Amino acid sequence: MALVYNTTESIEDYVTCLRGTYTTGKSRDKFTRKFYLERLYNLVKENEEQFYVALAKDLNKSRAEALASEISPVLEECVYFLNNFENLTNDQKVKPRLGANYTDSAYIRRQGLGVVLIISTWNYPLQLSLVPLAGALAAGNCVVLKLSEISVHTSALITHLLPRYLDPNLYRVVNGAVEQTQYLIQQKFNHIFYTGNSQVARSIMAAASVNLTPVTLELGGKSPAIVTQDSDMQIVANRVAYGKFFNAGQSCVAVDYVLIPQSRLTEFTQAIQKTLSTWYGSDPQRSKDYGRIVNTRHFDRLLSMMHDRQSGDIVLGGDSDRDSLYIAPTVIANVKFFDPVLMADEVFGPILPVITYTDMEEALGLISRHEPPLALYLFTKKQALIDRVLNVTTSGGVTVNDTLLHQNEYALPFGGVGSSGMGSYHGEKSFQTFSQERAVLSKKQRLEWLMQVRYPPASQAKLVLLRAILVTHPLQFRYILFKKHVKWVSFLLIMVGVLIKRHLSKF
Ligand code: NAD
């Protein structure tokens, strides 16, 4: 299946067509939304085998990795929205605060934002396209979905399948590279949801600002794993390896580097060697469970990172094969934190720099020298240390004593902070991201004798009444401040009264 790039004319037509649909209210109809969420589920379920093949062609993704990180998140997201549809979409009643509205109905109606643009990327090409799509459709939007031009096979399959399951009046797929994406972001959207690198994110935000379009930016960063003295080293090694070598390190929340006490370095490298030989055998290139680098550009970038580094010794791996885009799981020990090659940018591949520290405060100080990462991992059994690390560091998300898993837990919002992104999604948070909270106050055509106090001409009597309606009386204000004390004093006075009464009744 070939990936056909869109022309700029077709992009303009798509946006116009979807804007037309949005104004008919079709995408906001609850029945339509549930119907297409069910269809989206079927799209993935009924074509699961084809997705495994496409993902293997793009990234040599194993079935287990594809199931856990691509198929299951999309299916579960559709199930979540269908199962919680009424809760998410029903109007939310609120109690009016103003006296003038006590008898009226006030509620929040969550509805779609309009026509939204989702730009996805190649490392999880199914998950990162269809999970936000499910959220946007559930919230009642029309969607332009820009797929990655790098994960060609999966993007072509999604493009082929979507029209067979969804109504093209509700969504359109755009394929293309820089030219198409740049043209796309100049169109007027009601929201732009972008996943990718921070350089492109800047141009997305600049283009969005022209139309005052809000943006969600799902980016990356250098996510550290901090190992402490009290860690069980084989468990740590297994979980760090999982967080580093899953998808050959091409995960936005991958462990970027490890910080470990100097005294435990050897133990760690021995343990991770044991993990890797158990998982991938003596030659990972022959393992069906180990992924490949997505293209030669990223392959060359990673190899120059390894070869041009200014510090560290390769203690594991290091070999590669450009023809098959293979880079062995590689561990580089004794890396300097300020290594201008290994520690400047996100690694985004199967190379693990390991940096030693002598004291935890020093390690925390080093982490804060980087921009806030997308994820932070901490291995410790001490709650006080968990609290200390949470208090002094910043990151989009955290998993304690494991890696990657906070991203998979869709009950938690997922997103970055600072240079690792803005806004978040997954589950209920996706629904909020793609919807507007429309405030509705529904009054009745009565009580005009009272409501007329706000109309001119003003008078002293009207002002008194207006103050009574709009401003909390100072006595009531005092009562609110001392409510707790007043209750206790009243309780004590009653108790004293009861005791006095009993005492007097004896006489
Ligand atoms: P990429 O090169 O595929 O770019 C992403 C999208 O931007 C594509 O659709 C592409 O067509 C478009 N694009 C590329 N260059 C452009 C330009 N100059 N102008 C306009 N559009 C352009 O993706 P990438 O940068 O290789 O992705 C890797 C980055 O994404 C990493 O930093 C990773 O951490 C991050 N990422 C983040 C998440 C997350 O959920 N936070 C998930 C996956 C990847």
Q: Distance, CA 58 to ligand 1 centroid (Å)? A: 16
Domain ranges in the chain are: 23-219+427-438, 224-415
- Cβ neighbors of 353 (< 8 A, separation 6 or more) are 256, 257, 258, 312, 332, 335, 339, 342, 343, 347
Q: Tens of pLDDT along 290-325?
A: 999 999 999 999 999 999 999 999 999 999 999 999
Residue 486's pLDDT is: 85
Q: Which of 49, 218, 267, 346 is catalytic?
A: 218
**What are the tens digits of pLDDT across the range 253-282?**
999 999 999 999 999 999 999 999 999 999
Residue 35 CB contacts under 8 Å (≥ 6 apart), including other chains: none
Dist. CA 119 → ligand 1 center (Å)? 8
Span from the CA of 14 to the centroid of ligand 1 (angstroms): 22
Enumerate residue ranges in the chain where pLDDT < 70.
none
Question: Ligand 1, closest atom to CA 346?
Answer: 32
Residue 348 CB–ligand 1 contact under 6 Å:
yes
DSSP letter at 187 equals S
**Pocket flag, ligand 1, residue 65 (CB < 6 Å):** no
Phi, psi of 257 (to 5 degrees): -155, 160
Q: What is the pLDDT of residue 302?
A: 98
The residue whose CA is least distant from atom 25 of ligand 1 is 197
Neighbours of 468 (CB within 10 A): 11
**What pLDDT does residue 100 have?**
85
Say if domain 224-415 classifies as CATH 3.40.309.10.
yes
Q: What percent of the chain has pLDDT over 70?
A: 100
What was the pLDDT predicted at 184?
96
Centre of ligand 1 to C-alpha 150, Å, is 10
**Cβ neighbourhood burial of 149 (10 Å; 0-12, 13-18, 19+):** middle
201 close to ligand 1 (CB < 6 Angstrom): no
DSSP state of 246: G
pLDDT tens digit string along 486-499? 889 999 999 999 99
**Closest C-alpha residue for ligand 1 atom 11:** 177
Distance between Cα 214 and ligand 1 center (Å)? 18
Q: Do domains 23-219+427-438 and 224-415 have the same CATH topology?
A: no
DSSP states of 401-451: SSSSHHHH-TTS-B---GGGEE--BSTHHHHHHTEEEEEEEE--S--HHHH
What is the distance, to the nearest Å, from the Cα of residue 468 to the centroid of all Cα atoms in its chain? 46
- Domain 23-219+427-438 fold is Aldehyde Dehydrogenase; Chain A, domain 1 (3.40.605)
SS3 58: helix
Q: Which of the listed residues 174, 197, 348 should we mutate to test ligand 1's pocket, taking the one with most ligand atoms within 8 A of CB?
A: 197
State whether the beta carbon of 293 lies less than 6 angstroms from ligand 1: no
Q: Is the CB of residue 6 below 6 angstroms from any atom belonging to ligand 1?
A: no
Is 252 annotated as catalytic?
A: yes
* Coil, helix or strand at residue 491: helix
Helix (H) or strand (E) holding 130: helix 127-138
Q: Which residues contact 284 (CB under 8 A, 6 or more apart)?
A: 276, 290, 317, 328, 329
Please identify which of the residues 38, 252, 267, 371 carries the catalytic annotation. 252
Identify the pLDDT of residue 450.
86
Residue nearest to atom 8 of ligand 1 (CA): 148
